[in-house]
A and B are shown apart, each in its own frame.
Chain A
């Protein structure tokens, strides 16, 4: 089964050690949702994924990666 992995933790660190709460407020979700996304437990909607990419000024494929489990 495939999984969506992401670079959010690294990108937060590179953007002035942005907290999960700060990111959550920028993309209009709760801190717990950011945490779940970061840990790969929850795959965000396309809209939220684009918002996260926009916050970090990165293209979507630089933030999220799809792996098919191989």
Chain B
């Protein structure tokens, strides 16, 4: 059984499936970040727009991932690009919700103090709002990344490739080693993603926020 598993890992198409899975997920996450962070900055100008964005994001989070991938198929066809579009769309709500809420929660007093010190709007954004909201934004990116890696397994159904191909092959051949090789690898990939992005979240937390948090915990 273990021997069979390792034979599957050693097959020439296995590394390709892993690479394709990572490539598809990374591209989808990049697109999701590139859309949702600027969108969050844009809606931050008005509390109403921010509220609407968060609510639409919440509804978006309820959309089943298979439904989204399946809907991409009749309109965009099979393959990498339709999978990329569906996975990016799936990744937008968690980042948008967190970025919009995170920016909103940067207190008015802090922003006013910065303005009083003579910072321009751009400086307030890049030196005050974004760093203070960074932990919350990164938490959203982590949720989104894990969800994209997991859902990329389903891209196989619309011809997007990745590790879902191996699992589906395992089902079709009724082969336990093939099934488990695909399943364990994609599970490991999802867990690694969670851990790596959790670490990134800590790295991007400004030192001052860590101090404030420790002080609050002591109270």
**B is bound to A:** no
Q: Which residues of A come within 8 Å of B, CB atoms? A: none
B→A interface (CB under 8 Å): none
